[in-house]
Amino acid sequence: MMATIVEARQVHKTYHTGRVTVHALRGVDLTIQAGEMVAIMGPSGCGKTTLLNCLSGLDSFDSGEVRIEGELLRRMSDRVRTDYRARRMGFVFQSFNLLPVITALENVELPLLVSGVRPREARLRALAVLEQVGLADWVDHRPAELSGGQRQRVALARALVNEPAIVWADEPTGNLDAATSADVLALMQRLNQERGQTFVIVTHDPQVSARCDRIVSMRDGQIIPCI
């Protein structure tokens, strides 16, 4: 039996923008098992990204509980939570979020250097994961010299370089064409299967959800039962 890696209970999140109050999450309950590849789907504005940000500790929430690997997020100080994310989590975004003035290799090794890994070890680990995602011949290229699919592979390599327990991905194929999306998804699926890492993917794309173990459907800030 797989262990629970993410557990959310009655999570509420409200945004106040001027006179408007937005109930982004309305009592969300969710359990994710270690090694699962889970898609979170639903219409725009339903709370998918807010849920991902709250589960990963990137954003706070008003009430409820979130446990990651058995630890309550609310009991972690900001410093501890930041350190935990650096050690145990990876993030992939639609916009890639690569630094444009440095190479693919430098983008991937940067999180390791920031977390105190020695430069030589960081370089070797970054090279190894770039080879794993098929970019061994592109390590010295800057993001502008890479295709969209290659940039997303760099972003995925950066997310994986610290060997995280969980990879959070927010619309990771949103800026890619269908063929490139399928290629990146196949890579994520292979890494999930080979490395046993948990992937939680926010997406609109049925091509993405079709490759996942489970689909979590959302509407109006709530998880709705699958029919």
- Find the mean pLDDT for residues 192-215: 92
- Find the mean pLDDT for residues 99-106: 96
Task: Give the pLDDT of residue 35.
Answer: 95
- Find the mean pLDDT for residues 162-166: 91
Say if residue 227's pLDDT is above 70.
Answer: no
105-120 per-position pLDDT tens digit: 999 999 899 888 999 9
Domain harbouring 14, CATH code: 3.40.50.300
Domain span at residue 200 reads 4-224
Determine the Cα angle at 52 with ends 47 and 58, to 5°.
115
Give the number of domains in the chain.
1
Q: Are strands 37-41 and 214-219 parallel, antiparallel or unpaired?
A: parallel
Task: Give the pLDDT of residue 179.
Answer: 86
Dihedral of CA 32/73/59/193: which sign?
Answer: negative
| Nearest residue to 169 (alpha-carbon basis) of 81, 87, 52, 83 | 52
Q: Could you tell me the two tokens for 139?
A: 């390590």
59-86 per-position pLDDT tens digit: 999 999 999 999 999 899 988 998 888 8
Task: Give the pLDDT of residue 226.
Answer: 67
